[in-house]
Amino acid sequence: MMNKYAIAIHGGAGTILKSSMTPEKEKAYLDGLKNAIESGELILKNGGTSIDAVEKAIRSLEDNPLFNAGKGAVFSNAGKNEMDASIMNGEDLSAGAVAGISNVKNPISLAKGIMQKSEHVFLAGNGAIEFAKLIGSEFEEDAYFFEQMRFDQLQQAKQSDGVFLDHTTDKFENGEKKFGTVGAVALDIHGNLAAGTSTGGMTNKKFGRVGDSPIIGAGTFANNETCAISCTGHGEFFIRSVVAHDISCLMEYKGLSLKEACDFVVMDKLVKIGGEGGLIAIDKYGNIEMPFNSEGMYRAKKSEDGALFIKIYKD
């Protein structure tokens, strides 16, 4: 009998309301999530590794301009795309991360390259670009990353001098905010867990701001003994709470189940400090949790014995 495999992905959390979504846009998001999770699942179904499945699913989301990562990355205050990503292997706790990079087509693949081809975990800025060239990462011109919607968001943000954790809202009224990050977690038939996260960060961010997405233990974590986690939300709070590692610790040291640990961290601990967002999590048995304390979270999950589940809003 084949061992169990399972995968879950997210495309960001935040104030995602059905009332502000057109049927066409909703379908485009659902299709984007479906394509991404199926590309990852195909690898798992064929006996591939959780690391490869996570990378493949995230690459699919990075290539989709609807999501704030890769091609759809938002603009910083300087009018640049500054992207962050990280990936972690639950089998041996190896990890790779990258921050503040531009023109790399798939930051998640660079993070994987750092994990597998360097003795380091975390590279940033120009040095990361140098390493990317060394290992043959795919690069794209600025024009590839230019999305009019993202550029318009920057102009609006500059007018009010706000920093937006934005995803897709055309208007910034009513304090609407979306945390544009993409991520994936997976369990392969060999029993190995993996997690990855990628983001374009915040619209109008300054000073080389970096959120939780590339930080191992905050935005991404995987350990075969416990779980694999990818977060999306107000990065500053997720960093302070070391969210991804916290969930693993609650399972390892307190014996909590995946669901108990996730609910406690996302619905209680984060809420108390004002940290909005959510995460996707998977344990070594293939159980999947996708808690969020915001209005919505683009999310999907699939296991070898289950139907495809894709949702945007709260139930």
The pLDDT tens digits for 219-229 are 999 999 999 99
| Res. 160: pLDDT tops 80 | no
pLDDT for the residue 150: 85
Q: Which of 296, 307, 143, 313 is nearest to 233 (CA)?
A: 296
Q: Which of 279, 291, 286 is nearest to 9 (CA)?
A: 279
Residue whose entry in the numeric block shows the structure tokens 């061992």: 3
pLDDT in tens, 176-198: 466 789 999 999 999 999 999 99
| Res. 151: pLDDT tops 90 | no
pLDDT for the residue 166: 46
Residue whose entry in the numeric block shows the structure tokens 């990361």: 128
Q: What is the DSSP string of 96-131?
A: EEEEEE-SBS-HHHHHHHHHHHSS-SEEEHHHHHHH
| Distance separating alpha carbons of residues 222 and 234, to the nearest angstrom | 21
| Distance separating alpha carbons of residues 156 and 150, to the nearest angstrom | 10
| Res. 175: pLDDT tops 70 | no
* Dihedral sign (CA 279, 280, 284, 285): positive
pLDDT for the residue 20: 81
| Res. 167: pLDDT tops 70 | no
Q: What's the whole-number mean pLDDT along residues 208-217? A: 96
Distance of CA 199 to the CA centre of its chain: 6
Q: What's the whole-number mean pLDDT along residues 145-173? A: 68
Q: Which range, 137-146, 168-177, 251-260, is most confident?
A: 251-260
Q: Are 71 and 24 in contact (CB under 8 A)?
A: no
H helix or E strand, kind and range, residue 261 = helix 258-263
| Res. 174: pLDDT tops 80 | no
Residue 263 DSSP code: H
* Dihedral sign (CA 114, 118, 122, 127): negative
| Res. 170: pLDDT tops 60 | no
Q: What's the whole-number mean pLDDT along residues 210-231? A: 98
Residue whose entry in the numeric block shows the structure tokens 């290992």: 135
Structure tokens at 52: 């490869």
Which has more confidence, 315 or 182?
182
| Distance separating alpha carbons of residues 267 and 165, to the nearest angstrom | 20
User: Domain 6-92+141-307: what homologous superfamily?
Assistant: (Glycosyl)asparaginase (3.60.20.30)
pLDDT for the residue 226: 98
Alpha-carbon separation of residue 187 from 44, 214, 286, 290 (angstroms): 8, 21, 6, 15
Prediction pTM value: 0.94
Taking the domains of the chain in order of start, what are their residue ranges?
A: 6-92+141-307
The alpha carbons of the chain give a radius of gyration, in whole angstroms, of 18
16-20, 157-161, 279-283, 293-297: which range is least confident on average? 157-161
- 86-117 CB burial, b ≥16 within 10 A, e <16: bbbbbbeeebbbbbbbbbbbbbbbbbbbbbee
Compute the CA torsion angle 250, 255, 257, 258 (nearest 10 deg).
Answer: 30
Phi first, then psi: give them for residue 134, nearest 5 degrees: -60, -40
pLDDT in tens, 59-97: 999 999 999 999 999 988 888 899 999 999 999 999 999
Q: What's the whole-number mean pLDDT along residues 198-212? A: 90
pLDDT for the residue 90: 98
Q: Does the annotation count 169 as an active-site position?
A: no
Determine the 3-state secondary structure of 193 from DSSP: strand
**Catalytic choice (49, 169, 181, 226):** 181
pLDDT in tens, 257-307: 999 999 999 999 999 999 999 999 999 999 999 999 999 999 999 998 888
Longest dimension (CA), the chain: 60
pLDDT for the residue 2: 57
* Cβ neighbours for 80, distance < 8 A, ≥ 6 positions apart: 102
Q: What's the whole-number mean pLDDT along residues 87-108? A: 98
